[in-house]
Each structure stands twice: as structure tokens, then as C-alpha cells.
Amino acid sequence: MKVVACLGNPGSEYSTTRHNVGWWLADRLVDDWGLGRFRRDANVAVAIGRYQGVEVQVRKPLTYMNRSGQALTPLRRVSAFDIACDLLLVVDEVALEPGRARLRAAGSAGGHNGLKSVEAALGTREYPRLRIGVGAKPPGADLANWVLSSPPREDRKLILDLLPELVECVGIWVTDGIEAAMNRCNREKSV
């Protein structure tokens, strides 16, 4: 089983914000892969199905960004689930411009509170992560206000236009693993 955990915040007031670009990708994955509807299971919305013969789950933690790890803790108890190979985290990234993304096999939280929560809950930094660019905050702006605001139309278009490529990248990760996905996807012009 492969799990794609896309971080964001529940509630319609957050649906168009920079912090929820992971959920934008989650919705696109579920639609493109025909996984059906998200169902609530405790503190996570999950869509389950198969992609290219592999069992997949697309998850949206419902715990708010800063407590995302709580929704992923149960994965530690799933037998034969290898966090380093079978889990992909998707988050927003202020260090990348809109229309850009970066896929890595592991790494630090880089100041991202959602990733900090996941690392604390899982007890490791050794899991793949896909960071979707939302652009840097303007000088003097508050970071929390920045990520909890909606991007302007042109930035939103850049992010939405990137989603088909990201669906392909996640698909490569599911079928061929992180190295193949990084080799293919990190060479792309916009990824």
C-alpha cells in the first residue's frame, strides 16, 4: 500500500489558501485516478483505490496543519508499511515560486510546522516529500497570514497548471519509487 498524505486545513475558509495546495493536489489525484470520494475516518479524510495495480490511499489530515502528524500516527502500526518507501507527504513551500515544485526522498522540516508535526509523530525525517511552491511572503508580512491567504489569480493559475505534472510525478512514485520519480520529475522545467 502507498499513502499520499496531502497537508492542509479543514474548512471552507481555508480551501483557496496557499496552505491548502496539498489538498488541491489530493483532489486532482482522486479525480484523475478514479478513486471515488473521500470518506472521514477519525481525524483524516481518505480515498482508497488502486493505481496501476497498486493499492493507494490519498489522505487529507483534518487536524489542521500544525497537528497533521496526529492523523498519520496510525500508519506506524500498519504491518509491512515502510514509512521511508510507502508514504509521500505533500505540502506548500514558500521557498519556491508558484508553478515550481520539488520532490525529495527525505529532509528537514525547513520551518514548515506541518512537517514538524509529522516528524514528531512518526519519529523520523526519512520519508519522501513533495513541496509545491506558493511564493515567498513580502518583506515585513507575517508568514502565518501569508500562507493562510489566497494567492492572486496569476499565482493560482501557475499552481493549478502544475497539478497534471505533479499527478504524473506521484504516479511514478507509486509504481517505480522515489528515485525514479525524482529522476523524472525534478528534471522537468517547472518541477
In tens, the pLDDT along 39-65 reads 999 999 999 999 999 999 999 999 999
Task: State the residue for C-alpha cell 506558493.
Answer: 134
**Active-site option among 19, 60, 100, 131:** 19
Residue 111: what pLDDT? 86
User: pTM of the full predicted structure?
Assistant: 0.95
Of 145, 107, 138, which is closest to residue 19 (Cα–Cα)? 145
What is the average per-residue pLDDT within 121-136?
96
Task: State the residue for C-alpha cell 500562507.
Answer: 147
In tens, the pLDDT along 154-163 reads 999 999 999 9
Phi, psi dihedrals of residue 96, rounded to the nearest 5°: -120, 140
Residue 189: what pLDDT? 52
> 104 in helix, strand or coil?
strand
Of 184, 72, 64, which is closest to residue 113 (Cα–Cα)? 64
DSSP 133-153: E--PPPTT--HHHHHTSPPPH
What is the average per-residue pLDDT within 95-110?
94
Of 168, 163, 113, which is closest to residue 133 (Cα–Cα)? 163
Residue 79: what pLDDT? 87
19 is catalytic: yes
